Amino acid sequence: MAAAGRQLHRRHGDDREMGMGGGGRLLCPAQRHGLGGFRSLAQPGRTRAIRRRGPGGTRRIPGACELDGQRDHRAGGQQAGDGGVRRGAAFLVAATYPHGAPAGHLSAYADFPTSDRCLVLGAGGFIGTNLCLALRARGVPVTGFGRSARPAVLDDIDWVRGSLDATPWDRRLERLVGGHAHVFDLIGAGLPNSSNDNPAQIVADAVPAKVRLLEACRVAGVRRYLFASSGGTVYGVTGTQPVAEDTPTEPISAYGIGKLVVEKYLSLYRHLYGLESRTLRIANAYGPFQESRNGQGLVAALLRRLLADQPVEIWGDGRIVRDYIHIDDVVDAMLACLVHEGPGRVFNVGSGTGRSVAEVIADAARVTGRSPRLIRREPRGADVPVNILDSSRLMREAQWAPRTSWEAGLASTAEWIARSG
């Protein structure tokens, strides 16, 4: 790309080097903030430091919280859990976002509730970490809740360490949610494919814990409950694509059934007690902070294995089609639902474009410049053949739209994985 043809293109908080031909490569956070020293996978040997002013400092919320006698001390540079945030990755984000992660296009929401404290359940995981960073950048006071120690990248938010399924219903749950205007529930219940090995476990463990949590929210006066459901599992095998929210739900995994049960309890609590909620049926999210464990997260697993010159496992013939959406767009959808006042209560969150496993492998190989070595496994019973989401309801009612292209998102994710180690 000729120097004369370069321009800085800003869209949705991303900094992108653009050529006159309209192409471009997404710059990693280190490049955006002037750290430099990163080699693009798409253009080896080419780097350009671009400095960008941060969104302003966020006040430090002192102290750690306690639940069931477990106190979480300052994470500092330690290895963090609940999503496997690695030390290198933690250092990268802490260094590149010293004043908090960019707030993206959220400034469009003039009435965004920056004074309302939010509780993020599952805050140390993939979606939770990115959501907490976005809330913090927006100046929203946040409390994170997770099974493991506070990730170093979230060192300046309150943290409660515990487990909902291990917490009996008493005043402790009410104390956990008390003082929070909004609750983001990102806690999953097992994995889609393994859930069919013991279907009763979903009902025995996850559902009672969620109902106890909803009861605590009712007692504590929580104003809005935002639930991360699963757009990839609740619909099952459908006759038409893409699927809209009013498509009949016939999940083929206990995991998907468990998500639907929670959705129905949310509807019940709104009917009985007026507890406002929004359900987000999220497609296959990918991006920074995603770990590839237990067969989940195809994009992260694929990129990590390619970059490490390891073989890639696939189940079936590679024809399974999924809707992949970048985590930035997922977080934006969550925050849009936080201020949403329209009639909808359940929303699909997807790109609207389907890609087969074989296509994803080919694109990842192109981005990394590595040739994949495939190990083929037997198809899994919980995998639906095709799943593409129609997100037009969210677009219409909340003025949301996915803004990260597949090409840019895949390239930036590969860069992040390479940098984080």
pLDDT in tens, 244-262: 999 999 999 999 999 999 9
292 occurs within a structural domain: yes
Note the pLDDT of residue 80. Answer: 33
Same domain, 148 and 12: no
Same domain, 257 and 175: yes
Same domain, 335 and 373: yes
pLDDT above 60: residue 67: no
Same domain, 211 and 150: yes
1 occurs within a structural domain: yes
pLDDT in tens, 322-333: 999 999 999 999
Q: Which of 72, 162, 90 is nearest to 133 (CA)?
A: 90
Length of the chain: 421
Same domain, 45 and 71: no
250 occurs within a structural domain: yes
Q: Which of 169, 103, 164, 95 is nearest to 130 (CA)?
A: 103
Same domain, 43 and 93: no
- Letter for the amino acid at 395? M
Domain count, the chain: 2
Same domain, 245 and 325: yes
Q: Which of 215, 228, 345, 227 is nearest to 269 (CA)?
A: 215
Note the pLDDT of residue 132. Answer: 97
Note the pLDDT of residue 361. Answer: 96
Same domain, 287 and 413: yes
61 occurs within a structural domain: no
Note the pLDDT of residue 64. Answer: 38
Same domain, 29 and 159: no
Q: Give CA–CA dist 183/214, Å, rounded.
A: 10
pLDDT in tens, 353-410: 999 999 999 999 999 999 999 999 888 877 899 999 999 999 999 999 999 999 999 9
Name residue, tokens 């995994």.
253
Partners of 158 in beta bridges: 143
Question: What does the longest C-alpha to C-alpha distance in the chain come to?
Answer: 65
* pTM (2 d.p.): 0.77
172-186 mean pLDDT = 95
φ, ψ for residue 280 (rounded to 5)?
A: -115, 115
pLDDT in tens, 195-246: 778 888 877 877 888 999 999 999 999 999 999 999 999 999 998 999 999 9
128 occurs within a structural domain: yes
Same domain, 335 and 255: yes
CB-count exposure of residue 93 (10 Å: 0-12, 13-18, 19+): buried
Same domain, 290 and 202: yes
**Domain that includes residue 26, residue range:** 1-53
- CA–CA distance from 392 to each of 106, 337, 354 (Å)? 19, 14, 16
pLDDT above 70: residue 7: no
Catalytic residue among 97, 255, 265, 269: 255
Note the pLDDT of residue 21. Answer: 29
CATH code of the domain covering residue 288: 3.40.50.720
Concerning whether 255 is annotated as a catalytic residue, the answer is yes
Same domain, 49 and 86: no
